[in-house]
Amino acid sequence: MTFAAQAGVKRVEAPRGIEFTTRRSGSKLWTFVLNHTSSPQKVSVPGSYRDALTQAPVAGTVDLEGYGVRALQAT
């Protein structure tokens, strides 16, 4: 078993140019989705979240503009 698996890190398949990163702050889990391309992308996200800027619920997919970023808090 890898260190990442032991730590509970889940692998997420993402299109080329999309980056997922997760951070924990106390009991809150944040996922940041970054589009490093100039093209809009539709990205699958596992789980349910709340958008940090709009407070809108997010589940299933996230639409990202070219070079867009979404900050999501796990719910």
Domains of the chain and any CATH numbers: 20-74 (2.60.40.1180)
Write phi, then psi, for 27 (nearest 5 degrees). Answer: -95, 0
52-73 average pLDDT score: 95
The one-character DSSP state at 9 is P
Q: What angle do CA 69, 71, 18 make, to 5 degrees?
A: 45
Mean pLDDT of the chain, nearest integer: 88
Q: Compute the residue count for the chain.
A: 75
**What pLDDT shows up at residue 39?**
97
Whether residue 10 is predicted with pLDDT greater than 70 in this model: the reply is no
Is the alpha carbon torsion for 30, 31, 37, 41 positive or negative? negative
More confident call, 73 vs 2: 73
pTM: 0.82
Burial of 58 (0-12, 13-18, 19+ CB in 10 A): buried
